[in-house]
Amino acid sequence: MKAMTVKNIFVHATLIFGLMIVSGCASAQLIRPTAIWPDNRGQHIQAHGGGIIKLDDTYYWFGEDRARDNERGRRYVSCYSSKDLAHWTFRNQVLKLADPENFGRGWVLERPKVFFNAKTKKFVMYMHIDGPLPGQNGGYGLARVGVATCDTVDGDYQYLKSFRPLGQESRDIGQFIDDDGSAYLIFESRPTKGFFIAKLSDDYLNVEKEVSFIKAPLEGGAVVHYDGLYYVVASKMTGWAANPNVYATAKSLEGPWSEFRDIAPPETKTYGSQSTMLIKVVGTKTNTVIFMGDIWKPSTQWDSRYLWMPLEIGDGKLRLPEPREWTLNIKTGEAVIQK
């Protein structure tokens, strides 16, 4: 065999490097928990307390837009899109809502979640709507969900109504879409000292039926169906302050649910974050479940950060690893945490 010349080595190296780029190795973008997360415009993503849906090969992330230059009386929801869950393109401020029902000064819109209804072809947004009860001067007394709809995923959503799901007080909401496409709203309800997983009506405009009531005073509820088991993650109720988030499992969404256990060493208080959603990435080699958490900065909300990490999950156990930069191969489903 002929000895390799310097020129040959150079040609081989260039080819290998070129192949790496084509196969995506060199372009894998780091997901950096706790850091500023710039969108395609270089601006920190404003999608706090958010939710994600996937349409074909595109993910859409909706969340609270707390940008500093937003009008004070309005509440905003923004939408971003991505094909790899790492690079996000700003699409639109899909809701720029002025107080829609005379809720009063200091009214609240939090944790928006969008569902796509395949029958009506409508996008349906749920949001936690809150504000003072008549005669009160502030606070979270109304405890309702609001609904807005749109014909396109990133168009201007029209506010429709608000109500108390299943007649219950409702504060933090979460969304869960099962593998068969059924859509559920998760909502916390203080007087019952627990939270509900409830099925949406056919047109998604109402919350139709209690599927599970989990008697544990928890909020920030998120569910994933993984390897034959349902896992629910939730946070304790400590306002904007971080606390040790917990998880439980069940064979069926109806329960019975196991005891709750910590998802991370309790002294880390979930590494300063609060659960918002669990996303399952189904790949050709493996499935990865991502913990999507918020790191709240209550007095500078526009600067609130995100803690997304791939979970260690399986056989009824779930663990949030210590946050580090990581990459996700959206095709194979593999997540690699940096050393």
Q: Footprint of ligand DGJ on this chain (CB under 6 A)? A: 49, 110-111, 172, 219-220, 239-240, 274
Q: Which is nearer to ligand DGJ, 154 or 188 (CB)?
A: 188
Distant-in-sequence, close-in-space partners of 144: CB < 8 Å, separation ≥ 6: 128, 129, 130, 162, 163, 164, 170
Q: Which is nearer to ligand DGJ, 197 or 328 (CB)?
A: 197
Query: Order of strands across the sheet with 229-235?
Result: 219-226, 229-235, 246-250, 261-262
Report the candidate in 302, 246, 316 with the shortest Cα–Cα distance to residue 274: 246
CB of 214 to ligand DGJ, least distance (A): 16
Q: Which is nearer to ligand DGJ, 84 or 219 (CB)?
A: 219
CB 246 within 8 A of CB 233: yes
CB of 264 to ligand DGJ, least distance (A): 17
Q: Which is nearer to ligand DGJ, 243 or 258 (CB)?
A: 243
User: From CA 220, how far away is CA 161, in angstroms rounded?
Assistant: 23
CB of 130 to ligand DGJ, least distance (A): 8
CB of 220 to ligand DGJ, least distance (A): 5
CB 56 within 8 A of CB 45: no
Q: Which is nearer to ligand DGJ, 174 or 328 (CB)?
A: 174
**Nearest residue to ligand DGJ, scored by beta-carbon proximity:** 239
CB of 21 to ligand DGJ, least distance (A): 41
CB 213 within 8 A of CB 188: no
Report the candidate in 148, 176, 141 with the shortest Cα–Cα distance to residue 162: 148
CB of 308 to ligand DGJ, least distance (A): 17
Q: Which is nearer to ligand DGJ, 170 or 288 (CB)?
A: 170
- Residue 90's Cβ-side half-sphere holds a number of Cα atoms within 13 Å equal to 16
